[in-house]
Structure 1
Amino acid sequence: MFAKGQTVIQYMEQLAPKHVAMEGDKIGLQLGSLQKEITGVLVALDVNEDVVEEAISLGANLIVAHHAIIYRPLSNLQSDTPMGKVYEKLIKNDIAVYISHTNLDVTEGGMNDWMAEVLGIQNVIPLEDIHTDNLYKLVVFVPKDHHQRVLDAILNAGAGWIGNYSHCSFNIEGYGTFLPQEGTQPFIGKEGKLEKVEEIRIETIVPQSSRNKVIQAMLKSHPYEEVAYDLYGMDLKGRTLGLGRVGKLQEPVSLDAFVQRVKEKFDVPAVRVVGDLNRQIKKAAVVGGSGGRYWKHALFRGADVLVTGDVDYHTAQDALMAGITIIDPGHNAEKMMKPRVAAWLTDKLQGDKYETKVHASSIDTEPFAFL
């Protein structure tokens, strides 16, 4: 059995939720339809004609890409233009294109964490805060003999996190009363008779990002026809997600040695470097894509070096005078997302016994040649 398009995207959005994307970012379904069975998924950094041909050859009818194929409003859709040919080929072959961009950058366990991890940057925090999870207090009343079942369901769905402590809850025994009205089918009691039942009041914390999942898990596991629960907004804030990462290296290294590490781990033939190659690097920052404008954030966070792509001349001059070094491996360094996203989707699909195959694109979309 093949997975439906919406099922594949639900898995993708578990990794990179849409609500954590930066405002105005072009993410989500950009072309085609998800109302179909997905025979194969191709994970790509960019979508060009070669990538589309690869999808066709692999029998993939969904491309999950990092960079948008429609970034600016289209004034026309001519099939005799380079990009128009790509759109035409996608449509004729019924291939949908879904984009996961800054939401994949920002999310925990996403692009920026992958970049930091391979470079040995530890105990990372965001360079710039983008999204803070609002917290809610969930209170639900459960008959005593169903207490553990409901508690496990809501905690396993993402409730109960306080800092690095999971499964946090408070449980109080008491009595609940209710009178089933005409036409009801009560789990306990009889229509028209006032009931008094031993219940347990469960209190726990629910982050906004998990709220719908937790509520659905609670309702599904609860035995009552009408579940009594409350959800309160709180002034407390949960985890903060952001763009870029900064942290310390396990051991200080020279900028020259760190440059070689970047080239190896990012699989790039060359980098541009700003700064003294003999400088000792103790703390490093990374930003996927074009992150030159974040050099001040990196400096403020105490970083000795910023690793990011597409740094312009004047930004490099300003950073050099301010005392922070830069390594520019190019925008295409983000290609590391292909095998990682493919592995994530494969694990999810196989876990639910779907036959849909996932492929990491083998097409090199680097537009520059290094001579």
Structure 2
Amino acid sequence: MIAKISDIINAMEIFAPRHLAEEWDNVGLQVGQNDWPVKKVRIALDPAPDVVEAACSKDVDLIIAHHPLIFSPLKTIDFSTPVGYVIDMAVRHRTGIFSAHTNLDSAKDGINDVIAKRIGLKNLKILGKVRGAENYKLVFYVPVKYEQKVLDALFETSAGKIGNYSCCSFRNKGKGTFMPGSQTNPFIGKPGVITQTDEIRIEAIVQKSDLKSVIRHVKKDHPYDLMAYDIYPLITQENAQGIGRIGELDEKKELADFALEIKKILKLKSVKIAGKPDLPVKSVSVCTGSGSSLMNNFFSSGSQVYLSGDLCYHDARAVEAANLGLIDIGHFASEHLIVEVLAERLQKVLVESEFDVKVEACKLEKDPFVIL
């Protein structure tokens, strides 16, 4: 089955729900149209000119980059600038560019979870602001004879999605009791008379952004003049998401030994540490990319060491003063490992959906910093 860019975007919602992006971020489709056909997707960290050039030369239809091409509103598109050049090249070759940035950082099994698990952390919790998945349980009641009709209407919407499953619901039978008011025109019963009737309770998960449209659609096929329904927020540790992670090692390790172990696991040329090399480490905080903004979260986390990238001089001094530790593996190294992982995950989902799309990881990218 031929896929469109919109189909790939829908699949990406599984791995990086758009609502998890920070307010300042710019995620989603940066260049292209939702109805462009897609046969080949390439995953990259940055939509840099060389990455986009290579993709266009290989007839890639969609580039999914972690970092956005466009952060701030453009006042002009000058083809002589790097961003303008990329836009021009992408449009001429009909190659879409899509970004999954802080939403991929925050998502369950996103970049922070991937690196935390790879370095051996367990019992993971959120380091930054905890953001519950924007899901709600919608519950409503329908006469027995209208159960299937209203259920069909529910599944015509986006309701009932749990992971890779759709049309998920739960139903049970009960007795509804109500007394219609004098100004009503009840489907069952009479005004001023207490009425009892057999009803089916139907419940399904609905995303916050879809609640109004789902309720409006279900009401069209519901026989009652006033459909009774309940909405419950679903926020648990299991679906809580957010920037950064806190995890535990199986056993205590000294800071320097742990840093060298990370260097080996992630196949890095170098790592930087701050703090006493023999500092005992059991709890570790992690934030991929630029982690300075979560330094205060680290200090209150109970962790002994903070692993991130782009940490600065004053971060190191503050950690020294607190008798804690830092491990700076660099921005690129902390995030690039998601490229292969995401390519494999997206390919699997598209195959299961019977889309004829090839997903590949970009092999060109290297850390822009070189250690001499």
TM score, norm. by length of structure 1: 0.81
* Corresponding position: 1:232 with 2:233: no
Compared CA separation, residues 155 and 4, structure 1 to 2 (3 A):
closer
- CA deviations on 1:159-212 (whole Å, 9 max, x unpaired) are 9xxxxxxx99673423799xxxxxxxxxxxxxxxxxx9854224x574645965
- CA deviations on 1:49-71 (whole Å, 9 max, x unpaired) are 22112212332111111101112
- CA deviations on 1:265-284 (whole Å, 9 max, x unpaired) are 33321111111222221000
* Deviation for aligned residue 1:358: 0.7
In 2, distance between residues paired with 1:119 and 1:210? Answer: 36
Match of 2:264 in 1: 264
Match of 1:182 in 2: none
Secondary structure in 2 aligned to 1:128?
Answer: coil
Match of 1:185 in 2: none
Match of 2:350 in 1: 349
In 1, distance between residues paired with 2:162 and 2:143? Answer: 19
* Deviation for aligned residue 1:6: 0.3
In 1, distance between residues paired with 2:255 and 2:354? Answer: 47
In 1, distance between residues paired with 2:104 and 2:212? Answer: 20
Compared CA separation, residues 213 and 114, structure 1 to 2 (3 A):
farther
Match of 2:110 in 1: 110
Instruction: Indicate if the aligned counterparts of 1:133 and 1:209 stay in contact, CA closer than 8 A.
Output: no
Match of 1:339 in 2: 340
Secondary structure in 2 aligned to 1:243?
Answer: coil
Match of 1:44 in 2: 44
Instruction: Indicate if the aligned counterparts of 1:132 and 1:240 stay in contact, CA closer than 8 A.
Output: yes
In 1, distance between residues paired with 2:137 and 2:147? Answer: 23
Match of 1:139 in 2: 140
- CA deviations on 1:222-254 (whole Å, 9 max, x unpaired) are 9x9436654434477444321100021111112
Compared CA separation, residues 72 and 34, structure 1 to 2 (3 A):
same
In 2, distance between residues paired with 1:95 and 1:350? Answer: 21
Match of 2:304 in 1: 304
Deviates more, 1:357-366 or 1:207-216: 207-216
Deviates more, 1:303-312 or 1:50-59: 50-59
In 2, distance between residues paired with 1:246 and 1:357? Answer: 35
Match of 2:185 in 1: none
Match of 1:26 in 2: 26
In 2, distance between residues paired with 1:39 and 1:357? Answer: 6
Match of 2:63 in 1: 63
Supply the AA of the counterpart residue of 2:358.
Answer: K
* Deviation for aligned residue 1:328: 0.6
Supply the AA of the counterpart residue of 2:53.
Answer: E
* Corresponding position: 1:17 with 2:8: no
In 2, distance between residues paired with 1:73 and 1:339? Answer: 30
Instruction: Indicate if the aligned counterparts of 2:159 and 2:205 stay in contact, CA closer than 8 A.
Output: no
Gaps of 5+ in 2: 179-195
Instruction: Indicate if the aligned counterparts of 2:274 and 2:327 stay in contact, CA closer than 8 A.
Output: yes
Match of 1:157 in 2: 161
Supply the AA of the counterpart residue of 1:356.
Answer: V
In 2, distance between residues paired with 1:210 and 1:32? Answer: 24
In 2, distance between residues paired with 1:30 and 1:155? Answer: 27
Compared CA separation, residues 212 and 145, structure 1 to 2 (3 A):
closer
Instruction: Indicate if the aligned counterparts of 1:129 and 1:240 stay in contact, CA closer than 8 A.
Output: no
Compared CA separation, residues 176 and 40, structure 1 to 2 (3 A):
farther
In 1, distance between residues paired with 2:72 and 2:305? Answer: 33
* Deviation for aligned residue 1:318: 1.2
Secondary structure in 2 aligned to 1:311?
Answer: coil
Secondary structure in 2 aligned to 1:30?
Answer: strand
Match of 2:363 in 1: 362
Match of 1:244 in 2: 244
Compared CA separation, residues 316 and 205, structure 1 to 2 (3 A):
farther
Alignment of 1:190-339 (within 5 A): 198-202=198-202, 204=203, 206=205, 208=207, 225-226=221-222, 230-234=228-232, 237-238=235-236, 239-333=239-333, 334-339=335-340
In 2, distance between residues paired with 1:210 and 1:168? Answer: 19
Supply the AA of the counterpart residue of 2:353.
Answer: D
Structure 1 vs Structure 2 CA RMSD? 3.4
Supply the AA of the counterpart residue of 1:157.
Answer: K
Secondary structure in 1 aligned to 2:71?
Answer: coil
In 2, distance between residues paired with 1:104 and 1:71? Answer: 16
In 1, distance between residues paired with 2:305 and 2:353? Answer: 43
Match of 1:163 in 2: none
In 2, distance between residues paired with 1:361 and 1:263? Answer: 22
Supply the AA of the counterpart residue of 2:362.
Answer: S
TM score, norm. by length of structure 2: 0.80
In 1, distance between residues paired with 2:317 and 2:159? Answer: 51
In 2, distance between residues paired with 1:207 and 1:78? Answer: 43
Match of 1:183 in 2: none
Compared CA separation, residues 236 and 106, structure 1 to 2 (3 A):
closer
In 2, distance between residues paired with 1:326 and 1:211? Answer: 42
In 1, distance between residues paired with 2:171 and 2:86? Answer: 56
Supply the AA of the counterpart residue of 1:354.
Answer: F
* Deviation for aligned residue 1:48: 1.2
* Deviation for aligned residue 1:75: 3.5
Secondary structure in 1 aligned to 2:174?
Answer: strand
* Deviation for aligned residue 1:213: 12
Gaps of 5+ in 1: 160-166, 178-195
In 1, distance between residues paired with 2:351 and 2:143? Answer: 35
Report how many aligned residue pairs link the two structures.
Answer: 341
Supply the AA of the counterpart residue of 1:366.
Answer: D
